[in-house]
């Protein structure tokens, strides 16, 4: 079985669940009440996202995150 590595960007509102998104795959996101639950859900949704990729869609390269103070 081939494994792949993906980055999960995680956000959380003050009173809400954790929300994760995979920047490399368009519209690939999930949520969870805890980080562990989020990561379990992300593993499942990544699998589904990869199955549903159209032929013309590609997985982009994640470059990084920069902090910008304005």
Domains of the chain: 1-70 (3.30.160.250)
Query: What pLDDT does 3 receive?
Result: 84
Span 13-47, pLDDT tens digits: 888 999 999 999 999 999 999 999 999 999 999 99
The yes-or-no verdict on residue 55 having pLDDT over 90 is no
Residue entry with tokens 């994760």: 20
State residue 1's pLDDT score. Answer: 62
If phi over 0 gives left and psi between -120 and 50 gives alpha, with beta otherwise, what is residue 64?
Answer: left
- Greatest Cα pair distance in the chain: 45
| 41-64: average pLDDT | 89
Which of 60, 59, 29, 32 lies closest to 46, judged by CA?
Answer: 29
């Amino acid at each position: 079985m081939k494994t792949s590595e993906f980055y999960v960007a995680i956000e959380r509102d003050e009173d809400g669940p954790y929300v994760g998104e995979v920047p490399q795959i368009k519209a690939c996101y999930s949520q969870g009440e805890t980080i562990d639950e989020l990561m379990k859900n992300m593993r499942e949704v990544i699998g589904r996202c990869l199955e549903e990729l159209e032929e013309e869609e590609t997985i982009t390269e994640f470059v990084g995150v920069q902090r910008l103070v304005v």
